[in-house]
């Protein structure tokens, strides 16, 4: 009998973990607090406690050619960059075709994970789960945490003196779903990450005015690269990595900045990243 492994979360990582366990002759049990696979990509019209949340218009930043499971390519008619609904469709199909659903306990919350009293000898863990108000305890030889890192928002209210006296409405991007509530309003978007950029562009079609505040700047680039190929197929390759490592840093830095400025010169808009050339890029 193979060793028992508890897997927390049935998103992309959780499903991959189930498959890896099966390939190694282990016995996986996956706990998923929602009623479906997908994790981050399982869209809901409202932010749910303990779950990652996305907005209605989310598209992927990575192309389908670079983010599929190795033995399960996307259908040919799927776009290079997918709406979250298409990615969720793919994830569901993957779980069904690979017969992974039988290893998942849906609508089950993991409330506690503790080392067993004899952990130093056995290496085992006690996992307490809850479903329909009932608790159940089980012993596992290993635990894999696949619950993601986009669950709890960072809303640094202490960094904005006077915020309690602000007469308008403020929220984290985790609570944003669509632009309709902002029609005709003046909106300040703090942050130039992928979510901030997406939301600012979407709000610009409804709001009276949208302003983006960026502390560190960022590269803004197109998802579509040279000759119409997805950017990650062209840039995230072994050869490109070898070239960046082999060239003197000032040469590779110059080439990188030159390429990032192909679309527009970031310096002219005050967007030059302050934290080096490899600072996070936003994909439009």
- Which has more pLDDT, 280 or 241? 241
* Strand-pair partners of 209: 186
- Which has more pLDDT, 282 or 154? 154
Confidence of residue 2 (pLDDT cuts 50, 70, 90): confident
- DSSP H or E segment with residue 190: strand 186-190
Using CA atoms, how far apart are residues 100 and 30, in angstroms rounded to an integer? 10
Maximum separation of any 2 CA atoms in the chain, in Å: 65
For 255, the 3-state DSSP assignment is: helix
Using CA atoms, how far apart are residues 167 and 182, in angstroms rounded to an integer? 15
Q: pLDDT digit string (tens) for 103-160?
A: 999 999 999 999 999 999 999 999 999 999 999 999 999 999 999 888 888 888 888 8
Confidence of residue 1 (pLDDT cuts 50, 70, 90): low
Position 244 scores a pLDDT of 84
Domains of the chain: 4-145 (3.50.50.60), 157-283 (3.50.50)
Query: pTM to 2 decimals?
Result: 0.88
Average pLDDT over residues 71-76: 94
- Computed over every residue of the chain, the mean pLDDT equals 92
């Amino acid at each position: 009998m193979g060793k028992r492994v508890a897997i927390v979360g049935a998103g992309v990582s959780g499903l991959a973990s189930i498959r890896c366990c099966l390939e190694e002759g282990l016995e996986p049990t996956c706990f998923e607090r929602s009623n479906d696979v997908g994790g981050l990509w399982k869209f809901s019209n409202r932010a749910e406690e303990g779950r990652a949340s996305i907005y209605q218009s989310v598209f992927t930043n990575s192309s389908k050619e670079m983010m599929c499971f190795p033995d399960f390519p996307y259908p040919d008619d799927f776009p290079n960059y997918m709406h979250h609904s298409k990615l969720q469709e793919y994830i569901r199909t993957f779980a069904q075709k690979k017969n992974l659903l039988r290893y998942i306990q849906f609508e089950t919350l993991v409330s506690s994970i503790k080392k067993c009293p004899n952990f130093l000898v056995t290496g085992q863990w006690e996992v307490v789960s809850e479903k329909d108000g009932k608790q159940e305890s089980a012993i596992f030889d290993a635990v894999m945490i696949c619950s993601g890192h986009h669950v709890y928002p960072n809303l640094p209210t202490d960094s904005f003196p006077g915020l309690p006296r602000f007469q308008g409405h403020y929220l984290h991007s985790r609570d944003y779903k669509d632009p309709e509530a902002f029609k005709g309003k003046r909106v300040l978007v703090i942050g130039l990450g992928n979510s901030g950029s997406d939301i600012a562009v979407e709000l610009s079609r409804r709001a009276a005015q949208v302003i983006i505040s960026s502390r560190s700047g960022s590269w803004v680039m197109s998802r579509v690269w040279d000759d119409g190929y997805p950017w990650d197929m062209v840039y995230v390759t072994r050869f490109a990595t070898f070239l960046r490592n082999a060239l003197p840093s000032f040469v590779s830095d110059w080439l990188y900045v030159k390429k990032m400025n192909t679309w527009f010169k970031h310096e002219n808009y005050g967007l030059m990243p302050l934290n080096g050339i490899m600072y996070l890029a936003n994909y439009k």
